[in-house]
Amino acid sequence: MVLAVQNAGTLDVAGSVNDRVAFANDSVVVLDGSGTADVTGAVFTGSMSSSDSFGGGDIVEGACETGAEVLRVQDSTFDDGIALGHCSTSDTSITIDDNSFYRPPDTTFIVISAPASKETGQLIIAGNTFSPNGDRANTQKLPAIQVDGWPDQGIALFGPAANVFTGQGPDRVVQVSDSSVPFGQTWQVGPAGGEVLAVLDSTYQNGPAIVVSGTLVLEPGAIVKNEAGVGIDVVAGGHLDVDGSAAHPVLFTSFADSTVGGDSNGQPSSKGTPAGKGGNYFASIENSEDTYINISHATFRDGLWAIQLSGIEPVVEGSITISRCLFQAEVALGDYAKVEPGYAITMTNNTFDFNGAPSANFVLGGHNTYDPAAEQPALNLLNVDPAGVSLQGPTANRFTGHGAGRVIAVYGTVIPEGQSWTVDPSTGAVLAPVTDTDYLPNPGIDVSGVLTLMPGTAVKSADSAPGIQVETTGTLHTSGVTFDTITDNSVDGNSDGAGSLVTPIMGDYGDAVLYNDTDASISGDVFEYATTAIASPNGGSVAISGDTFKLNDTAIADTADFGTSASAEQNTFYRDQVSIDVSSFWEPFGADPVSCQFLGTLAVKGNNYDGSGSPPVTKSDYDAIQAAMKGTDVKAVPDGWTKLIAPGQYDVLPSWGVYPCAQPKNPYTAVAIPMTF
C-alpha cells in the first residue's frame, strides 16, 4: 500500500505505544515535497528493497511539488528506513524522534539528501535507537545515518536526547557531508550513543564536510573519521571546542582506520595510512582568523594535515589553544598575508610523533626541487607571534620523530617588544626560518622582544630572506647554537625531507642573523653555508667572539655609523669566500673639515683564518699602521674602518690605508681597511 501526501495534503497516523498502526507488506508513505505528515505509533514491516518503487524505504519522497514539506515521526518502528530531503525548501521541517530502526538490507537507516533547491529547513533526528537486523545483511557496509548538505545541530549525538547505536562497524556510523553548524547554533558530539562521526567531502576536491560558523563541541572519547577532504572548517565567528580527557581523548583519524570505533568501512583488514606514507585524507581541521578554537587531549593521525589554516587576510581577533594532544600529521597556524594578525596561538604539552608529512611535492625552501616523497615540517607558524608555542620547561611541546618531523617552519613571524620566546633543543625542535608567504624578503623571525636559543639549538634556514632579524628594541641570546641550511642532513637529520636529493652549498640561504642598528653580542655559535652569516648593515655595536664560520659566502658583514664600536675576536673562519666585509657611513660634519667627528671602531684580533690562503699580518705591517695613524694622509671617505689590528699569525690584512678625519689640529683619525680580512 502506498499513502501519498500531495498538493499540501495532510496525513495523521495517530497510533500509540500500546495501540500501534501497522503498515505491512511493503506499505510506504510518500511525500511529494508539499504537505504535512504526522506519524505516531506506527509499525512498518516488509521490505521495499524488492521493489523499484521509490527506491525503497518506509517513508520516502516522490516528485517535488511546490510548497512546504512538514514531517513529524515519533514512537514508531521501521524496518526499511526513511529517505527524505531532496525536495526541501527553507520552510521544510523534518523531525524524527524516539523511534526504533532496524537495519534495512543494504540501505541506510535514515538518508537526508542534499536539497535540489539548495535550501534547507529544520532537521531534528533525536532519541532514536538503531539496531542491526540479523537476517538482513548490510553487505554494502552503508552508514546508519547519512546527511548531505544540511545543518547538523539537530542530529542528537550527546545528552539525554542522543540517538543510540547498538550495532558494530557501519551500523554505528553517522556520515555528514557538505554540512554546517550555523552561526548562533551549537552541536555537541560524544561517544555515549556508540556512534562514529564520519566526515566526507562529497566532491572529493578537498572541500569541508562541516563548515562551522556557530559552535561545535567534541566531547571526551568522540571519534571523527575522515573519508576525504577537510573534516571541519571553522570560519569567521566560529567556535570549536575539542574537550578530550587523558582517559578519553578525542580521535581524528581516517575512515579506513578499523583499530578504533570498529570496522567503519566494512573492510576488516583496513587501517589508516600514516601522514609520512601519504595519508588517507587532506585535513582534520581547517581554520581562519576571527575563529576561536580550544583543543585538549586529542589525537590526530592518518591524514596529511591535522590542522591547516585557510584564512588569507589578517584580523584583530581570534585565538587557538592546543594542549596535551598527540600529532601524527602536519600542523599550520597563522595567516598567509604579509603582516602579523592579532590571532593568538597557545600550544603547550603537545607531542609531535611522526617523521614529516607529504603534504606538498616540493622540498622545503627556495630550491624548487620536485620530489613526490618530500616530507614537510611538523609545525608551520605563519605571520604570528611564536612565543605562545612553548619550547621550554614543564609546558614544552615535544618533537619525538626524525628529520622533518622535528621541524618548526617559521614564516614571517614576529616577537613583539615585551614578549619573549625560549627554544630548548631538548624538546627535539629544529627551527627553520622561511621568508613570508607574500614572497617579499621578510625574515623568518623578526625580534623586537627577546629570543633565547639555548645551547644545542639548530636553526636551519630555508631561503634567501634573513633567518633571524634583530630590531633596535630586540635581544637575541645565543650560545652553542648552529646556524645552517635546511639541506644539511649532518645537523639534526633530514630536515627538508629530501634525503640526499638536495645537498648544501655555499650561500644556500640568506643572512643567518641580521642586526638592524642594534647593540649586541654573539658568542660560541657555528655558522655554515650562509650568504652572510652575521650582517649588521645599519650601524650598531656588535661584538662577535668565539664563533665558527664555515663555507659562507661572507662570514661577517658590518657597516659603521656614528658611535659604532664593534669587534670580531677569537673567531675561526674556514673556507669562507669573504671572512670580514667592513664599510662605514663616514662623512665629515659641517662645511669645515675641522668640524668632523671620528666614526665607529672595529677591533679585529685573535681570529683563525684556517684555509683562507691569505698571508698573515706581519710585524712590519703593524708598525706601519701605527706610524701612519700619526701621519696626515687624507681621503674624503674611507671604505673600511678599524680600531686595532694585533700582529700575529692569524689576522689577515691584504691591504690597508689610514685616513685622518681632519687637519692635524683635530686629533681624531679613522683607519680605513678595504673590505676583506
pLDDT reported for residue 305: 92
pLDDT reported for residue 183: 95
Range in 296-305, 396-405, 478-487, 628-637 with the lowest mean pLDDT: 628-637
Nearest to 413 by CA among 320, 485, 335: 335
Assess contact for 484 and 459: CB atoms under 8 A.
Answer: yes
Per-residue pLDDT tens digits for 634-650: 444 444 455 555 555 55
Assess contact for 276 and 405: CB atoms under 8 A.
Answer: yes
Per-residue confidence at 456, pLDDT binned at 50, 70, 90?
very high
Per-residue confidence at 334, pLDDT binned at 50, 70, 90?
confident
Domain boundaries, the chain: 510-676
Nearest to 486 by CA among 336, 385, 376, 328: 376
**Which residue's entry shows cell 548538505?**
149
Nearest to 68 by CA among 29, 33, 116: 33
408 has a pLDDT exceeding 90: yes
Cell of 526: 657555528
Q: What are phi and psi of 56, to 5 degrees?
A: 90, 150
**Which residue's entry shows cell 635546511?**
486
pLDDT reported for residue 662: 42
Per-residue pLDDT tens digits for 249-259: 999 999 999 99
pLDDT reported for residue 223: 97
Per-residue pLDDT tens digits for 161-192: 999 999 888 889 999 999 999 999 999 999 98
Cell of 342: 592579532
Nearest to 43 by CA among 12, 19, 9, 61: 19
How would you label 64-90 residue by residue, b for 16+ Cβ within 10 Å and e otherwise? bbebbbbbbbbbbbbbbbbbbbbbbbe
Q: Average pLDDT of 269-296?
A: 85
C-alpha dihedral, 353 to 355 to 359 to 362, nearest 10°: 150
Range in 62-76, 421-435, 465-479 with the lowest mean pLDDT: 62-76
pLDDT reported for residue 673: 44
524 has a pLDDT exceeding 90: yes
Per-residue pLDDT tens digits for 378-392: 999 988 899 999 999
Q: Average pLDDT of 594-612?
A: 61
Q: Decide which of 279 and 551 is more confident.
A: 551
pLDDT reported for residue 601: 64
pLDDT reported for residue 279: 82
Range in 175-179, 233-237, 367-371, 550-554 with the lowest mean pLDDT: 367-371
pLDDT reported for residue 639: 44
CA atoms of 253 and 265, how far apart (whole Å) = 13
Top mean pLDDT of 155-169, 590-604, 609-623 is at 155-169
pLDDT reported for residue 141: 79
pLDDT reported for residue 383: 86
Q: Decide which of 406 and 631 is more confident.
A: 406
CA atoms of 594 and 589, how far apart (whole Å) = 9
CA atoms of 643 and 672, how far apart (whole Å) = 9
Q: What percent of the chain has pLDDT over 70?
A: 78
615 has a pLDDT exceeding 70: no
Per-residue pLDDT tens digits for 472-519: 999 999 999 999 999 999 999 988 887 777 789 999 999 999 999 888
Per-residue CA distances from 387 to 409, 477, 489, 515 (Å): 14, 15, 27, 20
Going edge to edge, which strands form the sheet with 129-131?
Answer: 21-23, 42-44, 77-78, 100-102, 129-131, 164-165
pLDDT reported for residue 135: 52
Nearest to 325 by CA among 254, 398, 384, 375: 398
328 has a pLDDT exceeding 70: yes
Per-residue pLDDT tens digits for 205-251: 778 999 999 999 999 999 999 988 899 999 989 999 999 999 999 99
Range in 142-156, 272-286, 521-535 with the lowest mean pLDDT: 272-286
Per-residue pLDDT tens digits for 70-97: 999 999 999 888 999 888 888 899 999 9
E-strand stretches of 118-249 = 122-126, 129-131, 145-148, 164-165, 173-177, 179-181, 186-189, 196-200, 208-212, 215-218, 223-228, 230-234, 239-243
For the chain, the average pLDDT equals 82
**DSSP summary character for residue 538:** T
668 has a pLDDT exceeding 60: no
Range in 28-42, 184-198, 226-240, 584-598 with the lowest mean pLDDT: 584-598
**DSSP summary character for residue 606:** S
SS (H, E, C) 565-587: EEEEECCEEECCCEEEEEEECCC
Per-residue CA distances from 76 to 10, 39, 43, 350 (Å): 18, 8, 6, 47
Cell of 48: 521495499
652 has a pLDDT exceeding 80: no
CA atoms of 600 and 332, how far apart (whole Å) = 44
Per-residue confidence at 45, pLDDT binned at 50, 70, 90?
confident
Assess contact for 579 and 610: CB atoms under 8 A.
Answer: no
Q: Decide which of 530 and 578 is more confident.
A: 530
Q: What percent of the chain has pLDDT over 90?
A: 48
